Amino acid sequence: MDKAKFTPSSLKSSRGALHMVQIVLCVVTFVVGYIWGHPSHTYWIYSMVIWGLCPVITLIITILEMFLIHKLILVFCMDWDDFTTGMAMMSSLCTFSCTVMCGNFYICRKCIWGWMVTILSAVCCVLYCMETFKDKCDATRSATYVAALPGFIKILQAFVACIILISLIGYVGKPALLWCIVAYAIPLPLTLLIIITNILTKIKNCLPFSIDRLSMLFLIISVLLYISAAILWPIYSFRGNPRPKNCLGDSCVWGIQFVVTFMTYVNLGLYIIDLVFTCCGICGFRRSS
């Protein structure tokens, strides 16, 4: 094992240079958004968090690789290549969602700040997509879980759940919709727990039980919860609530409720697919990766 040492040459590589550009562009996007000072809608708060969190994660990864700390510590408990590729994929998804939100809610003919933030966010998304594509095309990099199909499906589940949670609106005084919020909230920490356990291989190997069997139990619970939400949310959101003629921007409750409905069915499909994959793995069939 190599001793930890400072390797500034890593910053001169294409990967290091790409990380630096990602950090700078995300910080610039965050600063521009902060200066704009747009009203604190949940979509805007989410976007600001993403533009602030992505460069922090990228910076931490860069520092660990620059000092070779990832070889001395993280290699004992996780697949570093798989982890970093997974983070690039997650950042691509998150910055893409921010771009779509800004483009949908904050762009107009005279909204110069809205255009600036949307364009900067789109550039950040492209940069993270470039890293993801580069990593996936590199045959020397491993993809054991997060960057493989089983782990990526779970990342998608957590991502869609976050979009649902920040889009919840119009549920006050409606017990059925309050149950839907519970149904959306419970699977998210369970999914994150499974992701973390699979990433930390040392912990996974020390468990006295099969993580796949526990995952299947969690998935069955999640599928049942999302089925209930897929039935109740559209009924109690749209009953007696037709689409208004002018439904534009983040002030349109109907449009945001439709986003929740659509994403509910998307996540239900993802959980069902994941349950099938997990069941096939437990039953001895070859698991897709």
Strand residue runs (E) in the chain: none
pLDDT at 251: 57
Please tell me the distance from the alpha carbon of residue 132 to that of residue 138, in angstroms, as a whole number.
10
- The residue to which tokens 């950040």 are assigned: 124
Least confident stretch, 136-140, 187-191, 201-205: 201-205
How many other CB atoms are there within 10 angstroms of residue 195's CB atom?
18
pLDDT at 241: 72
Domain boundaries, the chain: 1-146, 148-289
pLDDT at 285: 53
Q: pLDDT band for position 39 (50/70/90)?
A: low
Q: pLDDT band for position 287 (50/70/90)?
A: very low
How many other CB atoms are there within 10 angstroms of residue 252's CB atom?
16
